[in-house]
Every structure is written in structure tokens, then in C-alpha cells.
């Protein structure tokens, strides 16, 4: 591992340290600060010439700052002659803007992919992309890990009988099916309508949930509208207990108030792909770490070994 170097921006230092702990290496030294007018200032404080470099930076809130820090760090590493630069993006922000679904809107996920490539990234390591097809926005290798294994280990420990895995929208069916298969559980799907970026409405529930213990699975929770609406609808349909397993806790806007007032939802399990700030901590939220998953993937990428078993 002597040719490897791991750097972190300011987005999630703790996750970077935990990954280093798994790999038994120390975090490499870089200064990522601000000039007085707010521009990002980066200085790589050690020699990276010829090294296999990984930069850990989820592009989580504030997304424009975290993304820009990542781009500038990659540029600095490229100019310092790193031999390969992997952008490790545990949460890939802007992923929901992945298609032109209205007139005169951008495809920002594609723009971000272009920016990462132009800055000098040689490959991308990420997890539970909002849509798997975003891999095709890149012409460099992309490894999209799944958090499902981490969640299944946790849920299986206290697995209730009569479990039903619920997708909160039709776009999440593939993910929900993977959970249902591994938990030997039934599957249900919610047909939801999005009225605005902050407000959704449940139209129908497809599948049997009455008297069952429901686990809603999703790639991300932002304002909490989708999750809370789904939990209320499941309660109305007489589900016995309701919990949620959501890969990325973006947790923005009114989400904490919504979690507070939603009696239907007992527990929200998220990963540490995004740091959980003190103000966002809530008794219903349980955080599982994906540091070992990323550490193992980084080790295998560095050793030119297959990472495919991590996708099982
Ligand atoms: C939708 O396609 C996503 O998978 C999430 O369900 C959604 O983006 C969550 O957003 P919010 O928490 O604001 O409803």
C-alpha cells in the first residue's frame, strides 16, 4: 500500500478517517481553506508524484462548495503528477437532475460528470446512485457500490415476521426487489405523485401490507416528504410497524419537524455517506457506517482486484 494516498476535502473528514483506519494508513495532508472573498484555496502538502490517489468527498450539502472543493483538489493532484486519481463520492449530489423532463431544464448530473472528468479524475467510486444510468454520463470507469449489505446485516439481526419491503415510488422498484429477495420478504410499491420539489402525494399502494411489518427502502431522504407520505399511507392501510432504510441522509428543510410529527414511522436507518450534524440528530435516526465497504473497494481498486463481489 506504499503507492496509495488518501485525501479528504471538508465534506466528511470523519468518514475519510474511518476509511483510513480500515486500510491501516494515515490520511494524507492537504490544506483546503478559503481566501477572504470565499474562493477555495487548495494546497497538497506532500509529494504525490506517481501515486494512486483517492479523494474522499461526498457532494452533500452545501453541494456547490463540496463539489467545487473536490474539483479543485483533483486539479491540484493532477498538476502534482499523481498517476491515477479516484474521486470517492459516497453521496453523488445533483444526481436527481439526470434527464430533461421539462422544457428548458438542464441535465445537471451530466454537467457534474463532465466537470469531474475535465478536472482530471481517472475513475469514480460512489454508492447507490439515484439512477444507475448516471454511470453512462462518464467515459471513465465508475464503480457504484450498494449499501444493501450493510442494511441487511442490521435488519436481519432483529428481523420481524411478516416483513414487507416497500418502494416509495416506481423508480425504486429495482432497489426494493433486491432488499425483498435478500430478506425473503414480500414486496409492495407506492404510486406517488410529486406536486413540487418539497411535496409529494401518495396515489395507490400496490401489494399487501395489512398486518405486516413494513420497511420502506429508498436511495435518499431530503425534505422527508416522500418518506412521511409513504409511512402515513402504510399506516392507513393497516401496516403493523413501519421503519425505513435510506442510503443517503441528505436531511434538508423541514425534514426533522416532519420526522417528529410522523407517528407512523418508528425508525429511520441511514448510512454515514453524509455527515449527520448535531442539529439533525433525532431519536428515530440510526446511522450505519459504510467506511469498511469503501475501504475494501479502495483496497481492491488499488490492488487491481475485482470489486464485483462487493455488489452482491
Ligand atoms: C425520488 O426519486 C428519490 O428516490 C427520493 O424518494 C426523493 O428524492 C426524496 O426526497 P424528499 O425527501 O424531499 O421527498
Q: Which residue out of 218, 228, 257 has the highest number of ligand 1 atoms within 8 Å of its CB and is therefore the one to mutate?
A: 218
d(CA 139, CA 6): 23
Topology match between the domains 4-145+291-311 and 148-288: yes
Nearest CA to ligand 1 atom 5: 220
Ligand 1 atom closest to Cα of 198? 13
The CATH number that domain 4-145+291-311 falls under is 3.40.50.2020
Q: What is the pLDDT of residues 129-175, one digit of tens each?
A: 999 999 999 999 999 999 999 999 999 998 888 999 999 998 899 99
Task: Tell how far the Cα of 287 is from the centroid of ligand 1, in angstroms.
Answer: 18
| pLDDT for 2 | 79
The CATH number that domain 148-288 falls under is 3.40.50.2020
| pLDDT for 6 | 98
Q: Could you give the C-alpha distances from 269 to 11, 114, 231, 300, in angstroms and in order?
A: 21, 32, 14, 28
Confidence label for 196 from pLDDT (cuts 50, 70 and 90)? confident
Q: Which residue out of 220, 247, 248, 257 has the highest number of ligand 1 atoms within 8 Å of its CB and is therefore the one to mutate?
A: 220
Nearest CA to ligand 1 atom 3: 220
Active site includes 159? no
Q: Give 79: exposed, middle or buried? Use CB within 10 Å, 0-12, 13-18, 19+.
A: exposed
| pLDDT for 222 | 97
d(CA 286, CA 235): 21
Q: What is the pLDDT of residues 228-276, one digit of tens each?
A: 999 999 999 999 999 999 999 999 999 999 999 999 999 999 999 999 9
Question: Residues of the chain with pLDDT > 70: what percent?
Answer: 100
Q: Any idea where the domains of the chain sit in the sequence?
A: 4-145+291-311, 148-288
pLDDT mean across residues, the chain: 96
| pLDDT for 195 | 75
Ligand 1 atom closest to Cα of 223? 13
Question: Is it the case that residue 104 has pLDDT exceeding 90?
Answer: yes
pTM here?
A: 0.96
Question: Is it the case that residue 68 has pLDDT exceeding 80?
Answer: yes
225 lines ligand 1 (CB under 6 A): yes
Confidence label for 202 from pLDDT (cuts 50, 70 and 90)? confident
| Cis bond upstream, residue 62 (ω within 30) | yes
| pLDDT for 235 | 96
Amino acid at each position: 500500500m506504499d503507492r496509495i494516498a488518501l485525501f479528504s476535502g471538508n465534506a466528511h473528514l470523519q468518514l475519510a478517517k474511518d476509511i483510513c483506519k480500515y486500510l491501516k494508513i494515515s490520511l494524507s495532508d492537504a490544506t483546503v481553506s478559503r481566501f477572504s472573498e470565499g474562493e477555495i484555496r487548495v494546497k497538497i502538502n506532500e509529494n504525490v508524484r506517481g501515486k494512486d490517489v483517492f479523494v474522499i468527498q461526498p457532494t452533500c450539502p452545501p453541494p456547490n462548495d463540496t463539489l467545487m472543493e473536490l474539483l479543485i483538489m483533483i486539479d491540484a493532484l493532477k498538476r502534482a503528477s499523481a498517476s491515477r486519481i479516484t474521486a470517492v463520492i459516497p453521496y453523488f449530489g445533483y444526481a436527481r437532475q439526470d434527464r430533461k423532463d421539462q422544457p428548458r431544464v438542464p441535465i445537471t448530473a451530466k454537467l457534474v460528470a463532465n466537470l469531474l472528468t475535465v478536472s482530471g479524475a481517472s475513475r469514480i467510486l460512489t454508492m447507490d446512485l439515484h439512477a444507475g444510468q448516471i454511470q453512462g454520463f462518464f467515459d471513465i470507469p465508475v464503480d457504484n457500490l450498494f449499501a444493501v449489505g450493510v442494511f441487511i446485516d442490521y435488519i436481519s439481526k432483529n428481523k420481524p415476521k411478516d416483513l414487507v419491503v416497500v418502494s416509495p415510488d416506481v423508480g425504486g422498484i429495482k432497489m426494493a426487489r433486491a432488499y425483498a429477495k435478500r430478506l425473503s420478504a414480500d414486496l409492495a410499491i407506492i404510486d406517488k405523485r410529486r406536486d413540487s420539489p418539497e411535496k409529494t402525494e401518495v396515489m395507490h399502494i400496490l401489494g399487501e401490507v395489512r398486518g405486516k411489518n413494513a420497511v420502506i427502502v429508498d436511495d435518499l431522504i431530503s425534505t422527508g416528504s416522500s418518506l412521511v407520505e409513504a409511512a402515513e399511507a402504510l399506516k392507513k392501510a393497516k401496516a403493523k410497524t413501519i421503519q425505513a432504510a435510506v442510503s443517503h441522509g441528505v436531511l434538508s428543510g423541514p425534514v426533522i419537524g416532519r420526522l417528529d410529527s410522523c407517528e407512523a414511522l418508528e425508525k429511520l436507518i441511514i448510512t454515514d455517506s453524509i455527515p449527520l450534524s448535531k442539529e439533525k440528530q433525532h431519536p428515530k435516526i440510526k446511522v450505519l457506517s459504510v467506511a469498511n465497504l469503501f475501504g475494501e473497494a479502495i483496497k481492491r481498486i488499488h490492488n487491481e482486484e475485482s470489486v464485483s463481489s462487493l455488489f452482491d
